Amino acid sequence: MENHSAFLTSPIAAEIQLPQIVSGGKRAGYYAAITIIIIATWLIRSKKQSIKLDVPIYKAPKMKWVFDAENLVRDSYTKFRDRVYQIKATEGVQVLVPPGLVGELKGLPEDVLSATEAVSDALQSKYTKFSPGHNGDLLSLLVRTKLTQNLTRIVPRLRRELEYITETEFPACEDWTSVEWQPFSVRAIARLSGSAFVGPSISRQEQWMDTASNFTIHVFTACVKLQFFPEWARPIGQFFVSELRQIRKDIQIAKDIIRPVLEERLLGVNTPGAEEPDDMIQWLVDALPEEEKGDLTTQAELQLILAAASIHTTNNLLCECIADLAAYPDAQKELREEAFQVLEVEGGWARKESMASLKKMDSFMREVQRLRGNITTFIRKVMKPISLSDGTYLPAGTKVIAPQAGISRDERYFPDPERFDALRFYHMRQDSDEASNRFQFTSLNDTNINFGAGKHACPGRFFAGNEIKVILSHFLINYDIRLKQGQDRPKGMSVVMTKAPCQKTELEFRRRSLVSE
Chain segment 70-125, per-residue pLDDT in tens: 999 999 999 999 999 999 987 789 999 999 999 999 999 999 999 989 988 888 88
Q: For residue 200, give every residue at least 6 positions away whose Cβ sits within 8 Å of its Cβ, in sequence order, or none.
A: 161, 194
Give the pLDDT score at 131: 84
Q: Is 92 left (phi over 0), alpha (psi -120 to 50) or beta?
A: left
Give the pLDDT score at 413: 96
> SS3 for 185?
helix
What burial class does residue 380 get, using C-beta atoms within 10 Å of its C-beta: 0-12 exposed, 13-18 middle, 19+ buried?
buried
CA distance 96 to 349: 43
Residue by residue, pLDDT tens for the chain (517 residues) are: 444 333 343 333 334 343 443 333 444 444 455 455 555 554 544 444 557 899 999 999 988 888 899 999 999 999 999 999 999 987 789 999 999 999 999 999 999 999 989 988 888 888 888 888 889 899 999 999 999 988 888 889 999 999 999 999 999 999 999 999 999 999 999 999 999 999 999 999 999 999 999 998 899 889 878 877 888 888 998 999 999 999 999 999 999 999 999 999 998 865 555 667 899 999 999 999 999 999 999 999 999 999 988 898 999 999 999 999 999 999 999 999 999 999 999 888 877 678 999 999 999 999 999 999 999 999 999 999 999 999 999 999 999 999 999 999 999 999 999 999 999 999 999 988 888 899 999 999 999 999 999 888 999 999 999 999 999 999 999 999 999 999 999 888 887 888 888 888 899 999 998 544 4
Half-sphere exposure of 163 (CA within 13 A, CB side): 7
CA-to-CA separations, 11 to 70, 88, 138, 224, 362, in angstroms, rounded: 27, 29, 8, 22, 24
Give the pLDDT score at 27: 46
CA distance 468 to 305: 20
Kindly report, residue by residue over 415-447, the tens digit of the pLDDT.
Answer: 999 999 999 999 999 988 888 899 999 999 999
Kindly compute the dihedral angle of the four CA atoms of residues 337, 342, 347, 349, in this order, to the nearest 10 degrees: -100
Give the pLDDT score at 18: 39
Give the pLDDT score at 274: 60
Angle in degrees, CA 229, 231, 234, rounded to 5? 60
Of all residues in the chain, the percent with pLDDT exceeding 90 is 65
CA distance 107 to 95: 18
